[in-house]
Structure 1
């Protein structure tokens, strides 16, 4: 396959943009060069000559010498308009903006087809782990049963500091921000939105199902209490923010939630900013991917991989969607959870299908029970700032209608 030299117009020169510049500079044999970089603040001191920079997006979008737009800004709305205009002008696009892709997925695919240009976004999911390319190419004809793992390096870093160094949540979060693993506003990470956007993208490539972010439930780590940490430590457990998706019959589910994991769980020793993705295929069985999921160079290297792929005219074919359009997303599942709450907060015990353990103390209460996901999506008590929800270590997920266990103990 023949290669071509491509000229890049880059939007954003923050953490990922600078990471891309450095890995591109050190890569030999890649026929790509940065022509122009569009930035927001022209007065900020940067390591490149001022001739590289502009604040006018038209200088990139209207430059016929620029073949590919690389979008690396943190504003998903502005990113959407940049990407849309670039595709309409016949330019290939590389982006790492998972929220922008997830919220505009179908339209972006339509634009790719309408203008016959590629849009690649490996850097949007799990940074250094090439999961999208593997789903598109290696697993294109393997019937996948399920995937799960840690899709967010920021929260994993925070939880690692809590369990390894006994740091308080706020202290661990501040350290993650100082190291560039978490944003100044960490809401998307700690409340589980970031891995949810990634899960939307992965569902499309793993099962061919396009799911809107609002259809997927996400429970974050921001309400985990010191009592929850102590509960885990006393039982030799850790807490990880886990994304899960699985298929059975013609249904697919997916959600994001904290989970207790024991020492035999494959995520137990995945620490700091590392991500891990487990893939279960009908034929290939279990594979495990581990790599850095946050930071300048890991994400920059994923963006560079997409740029390299474009020199070979690569584009996503969305093979699973074309193979099977009968699958439907469902939230009709139930699972076992640990729920803790402070005195004064009311929990509706009738919401649970069954309760196996319950404790009431002077300051804290908790229970372990099975509950439907749809119930959690609708109930008010789970939204209370004093209520924490964590999946139990061996929690099996059941489809409510079929009452069938669909997770094996050695995979959860």
Structure 2
């Protein structure tokens, strides 16, 4: 089988970059060599100084480098690096889910025009090979939904809450001390990380590119002891879940919300920093993928998988968009939600089409019922400022 030699220019040498370097040293992968590493500033490193550079063009304009591996945390900088690399006719491997989700249409088109590969397995679920499976194994018209825990940081926090009886602040502090959550945890706990991953998975599931600002994402930062106790009394756990689901007439709906999860669901037992993805199909029912969703070595192994695939001239064919196109993002359906609030005045922000359960207490109140998804999307930025907690029950309604 023919292979191509990959001379790599690596951008970023943080946790994932060093993780990739480590797994490359342990891997039997042939014809792969890191030529140069671009970083923002000089710090003490175990590698010799001549391995590093500080000007991106030193790598991008190097004709001996045919593959760019982008592993930096700044989405804007990553976009300029990836775009320029593609324009230079270089293959690209990226793990930057925000950059990809916001620019997927442009970058996919550019990669096709330049006849190069753009791979990003590590952007979705760390070590879980979900993108390539959606591309290659589930490359038919039988897919019904992809549902999962896509963020390890929020899942770690919720695991500590429900399995170890910690409160939210205690669990968050522990996650930060262990490096699972940033000092500013908004990206993870408010569902943005899961949102960007879901955008990418939706493209490979149904061939539809959806803009992130058109999708509902709401996280766990407003969770209270009342919500936790409610879930426990019902025998539920709360998980932050991303879902894309096929509806009737080739419509799809997608959102990221905390969800009440029962013991009979696969994701109920996904704990700590692990991710879990359930793929449901018409003929094969449900299949479950599980693995570490974060960390240098797990994510580095996913990057290495893309590099190895590149060695065999692999590229995404975007089969769902090419062969099974025609799916439309549908925002006008309804989802059943639990809305916990203190001040009844907050209800003026919400429009229930039906209510199945209601409670009024001395401090907290809640309603459970169906809400139009488009109404929630319209106020999604405001949701995080309100004294409420919103969670999905798992039921959707297609109009």
Equivalent residue, structure 1, for 2:143: 144
Equivalent residue, structure 2, for 1:389: 390
- Work out the CA distance in 2 between the residues paired with 1:24 and 1:179: 25
Equivalent residue, structure 2, for 1:407: none
Q: Which runs of 5 or more structure 2 residues have no equivalent in the other structure? A: none
- Work out the CA distance in 2 between the residues paired with 1:173 and 1:350: 29
Give the count of matched residue pairs. 397
- Cα distance, 1:350 vs structure 2: 7.0
- 1:344–1:117 distance in 2 versus 1, CA, 3 Å: same
User: Alpha-carbon deviations, 1:208-238, whole Å to 9, x = none?
Assistant: 1111111111111111112111111222211
- Work out the CA distance in 2 between the residues paired with 1:163 and 1:12: 36
Mapped contact 2:218–2:384 kept (Cα < 8 A): no
Q: Which runs of 5 or more structure 1 residues have no equivalent in the other structure? A: 402-412
1:243 is the counterpart of 2:252: no
Equivalent residue, structure 2, for 1:300: 300
- Work out the CA distance in 2 between the residues paired with 1:271 and 1:129: 15
Equivalent residue, structure 2, for 1:133: 132
- Cα distance, 1:142 vs structure 2: 4.7
User: Alpha-carbon deviations, 1:71-107, whole Å to 9, x = none?
Assistant: 0000000000000110111110000001111111111
- Work out the CA distance in 2 between the residues paired with 1:298 and 1:350: 41
- Work out the CA distance in 2 between the residues paired with 1:205 and 1:346: 38
- 1:158–1:140 distance in 2 versus 1, CA, 3 Å: same
- Work out the CA distance in 2 between the residues paired with 1:312 and 1:110: 21
- Work out the CA distance in 2 between the residues paired with 1:359 and 1:308: 55
Could you tell which deviates more after superposition, 24-33 or 70-79? 24-33
Mapped contact 1:136–1:317 kept (Cα < 8 A): yes
Equivalent residue, structure 2, for 1:377: 377
User: Alpha-carbon deviations, 1:283-326, whole Å to 9, x = none?
Assistant: 33211101111111111110010001010010011011001322
- Work out the CA distance in 1 between the residues paired with 2:9 and 2:113: 22
- Cα distance, 1:167 vs structure 2: 1.8
- Cα distance, 1:345 vs structure 2: 5.2
- 1:188–1:120 distance in 2 versus 1, CA, 3 Å: same
Equivalent residue, structure 2, for 1:60: 59
- Work out the CA distance in 2 between the residues paired with 1:163 and 1:354: 30
1:122 is the counterpart of 2:121: yes
Aligned partner of residue 335 in structure 2, secondary structure: strand
User: Alpha-carbon deviations, 1:99-139, whole Å to 9, x = none?
Assistant: 11111111101110121111100000001110110111111
Mapped contact 1:142–1:283 kept (Cα < 8 A): no
Q: Map 1:295-374; keep pairs closer than 5 Å.
A: 295-343=295-343, 346-348=346-348, 351-374=351-374
- Cα distance, 1:153 vs structure 2: 0.9
Equivalent residue, structure 2, for 1:79: 78
Equivalent residue, structure 2, for 1:408: none
Mapped contact 1:259–1:391 kept (Cα < 8 A): yes
- Work out the CA distance in 1 between the residues paired with 2:274 and 2:374: 31
- Cα distance, 1:47 vs structure 2: 2.1
- Work out the CA distance in 2 between the residues paired with 1:321 and 1:363: 50
- Work out the CA distance in 1 between the residues paired with 2:145 and 2:96: 24
- 1:11–1:350 distance in 2 versus 1, CA, 3 Å: closer
Indicate the structure with greater helix content. 2
User: Alpha-carbon deviations, 1:224-282, whole Å to 9, x = none?
Assistant: 11211111122221100011111132211111100011212211110011111111122
- 1:60–1:340 distance in 2 versus 1, CA, 3 Å: same
Equivalent residue, structure 2, for 1:208: 207
Aligned partner of residue 235 in structure 2, secondary structure: coil
Equivalent residue, structure 2, for 1:409: none
Could you tell which deviates more after superposition, 182-191 or 8-17? 182-191
- Cα distance, 1:379 vs structure 2: 4.6
Q: Map 1:179-190; keep pairs closer than 5 Å.
A: 179-190=178-189
Equivalent residue, structure 2, for 1:36: 36
Q: Map 1:283-298; keep pairs closer than 5 Å.
A: 283-298=283-298
Could you tell which deviates more after superposition, 254-263 or 180-189? 180-189
TM-score (norm 1): 0.93
Equivalent residue, structure 1, for 2:44: 45
Mapped contact 1:345–1:386 kept (Cα < 8 A): no
- Cα distance, 1:383 vs structure 2: 4.0
TM-score (norm 2): 0.96
